[in-house]
Amino acid sequence: MAFYSKNPRNIVNNLKSKVGLWSLMKQSHGTCSYSSCLNTIHLHRFLPLTTLPQFTNPDSISHKKGHFPHFQRFQSTTTEKQIDSVPNGEHSQVLDFPGGKVVFSPEMRFLSESPSVYSQCYRVLDDNGQLISHSNFVPVSEEVAVKMYSNMVTLQTLDTIFYEAQRQGRISFYVTSIGEEAINIASAAALTSDDIVFPQYREPGVLLWRGFTLQEFANQCFGNKADYGKGRQMPIHYGSNKLNYFTVASTIATQIPHAVGAAYSLKMDKKDACAVTYFGDGGTSEGDFHAAMNFAAVTESPVIFICRNNGWAISTPTSDQFRSDGIAVRGQAYGVRSIRVDGNDALAMYSAVHSARHMAVNEHRPILIEAVTYRVGHHSTSDDSTKYRPANEIEWWRMARDPVTRFRKWIEINGWWGSEAESQLRSSIRSQIAERAEKPPVNDLFTDVYDNIPSNLREQEKLLKETINRHPKDYPADVPI
């Protein structure tokens, strides 16, 4: 929309007085030092927001005027000195520009399409569960470590039970988390119950950690009456208001910008919490990912992006999705601090998420975590992954890189776990699930949308019940009419 005014100067002056734009422009941004953090993960493991070789600490960069772009939302292009000379360049100049300084150079140089040095992957435990020498991580108590391992075993067992149930025709669909148990459980352990989770569909372990019972999982997958969605959703689309876990949506990446909006709300309300969103490598190919990253950086929202880079977006390998050095470097492009982590190392995941949460909440900044892992199971029960990847590759990741086995070895080395505790744990899990339960009534299909159900829906409900009564053999006998 455009408009014409005879006195544009009056409009500008009026905006100045109403909005206080000039005073906002002069406000300093203010930074938070990372030194107050827990001295657990060196900051250089997180990718800085810009590539500046003379500095190693992003926070030290933020204090150097002219070298690091302030992320103040209202910054003036008018400065005391718009153009300065660059000491090291005879013909180079620096121009103040919204968001930072632009360095001019007479040399024509294109940015390389790939880095000369690839991003490192943060790791604490080797494949045998041994601590890597000189590794730094957030200490984990025996109680927390044992709970983490117990939850990972429970998640494995849960996947086995429901996968078999689908193959037997008792549920229509299922998605496993095999090979990605550490990402689920370790990240959940590093968060607080006030943090709001926006999942994809491969994070039931986060719910498990927060207290979602095995029967509640069964209620959703089998569409029981006690299901919080009243049986209306397809299996594995869990959700819990009580546990701050938004309901799963099948649409790829739509949860990512939602998480940023929630994080911005938490920031405005001055809450001691952050939003966390999970997605796969395929999700980063969606526009929602890029919009969310930029949205989070500009609004400085306390949100943690956790990407499960498991190598495959259904049958599409990462090599057919992007040419960048993984996912973490994309955060740098948007001004988001990032880190690449071994997603099969529970201790590394816990430490990275724990530190990321501290920065997100205390410094009001988004953090991107790329968890490098492998999807050992099929994409879903509708998929046969052996059609597009070799079976021996899958088996190698299942046996040699299993995150549950690796973490078990570490707690056994610490004397916190043994074979007797293992057998007791595994035998107790299956007894907690009772799939047979009463189903929701047919009329629940028509409720919870309108306060007063309109006549057309009442007519549909009537016709459906009449059809069921005429053809009872074509409909489940355990669904009350």
Active site residues: 164, 250, 379-380
> Cα–Cα distance between 59 and 43 in angstroms, integer?
9
- E strand or H helix at 432: none
292 neighbors 215 (Cβ within 8 angstroms): no
Burial class (CB in 10 A: 0-12, 13-18, 19+), 243: middle
What separation in angstroms does the CA of 166 have from each of 28, 171, 317?
A: 58, 5, 26
Q: Which of 251, 279, 432 is nearest to 369 (CA)?
A: 279
Cα-to-chain-centroid distance, residue 78: 39
User: How many other CB atoms are there within 10 angstroms of residue 419's CB atom?
Assistant: 8
Sign of CA dihedral 459, 463, 464, 465: positive
Q: What SS3 class is residue 293?
A: helix
- The 3 state secondary structure assigned to 6-24 is CCHHHHHHHHHHHHCHHHH
123: left (phi over 0), alpha (psi -120 to 50) or beta: beta
Q: Which residue has the tokens 């300093």?
A: 28
Q: Which residues are within 8 A (CB) of 242 and not within 5 positions of it... i.e. 6 or more apart?
A: none
- CB crowding 166-186: b at 16 or more within 10 Å, else e: beeeebeebbbbbbbbbbbbb
Q: What SS3 class is residue 271?
A: coil
> Cα–Cα distance between 73 and 82 in angstroms, integer?
19
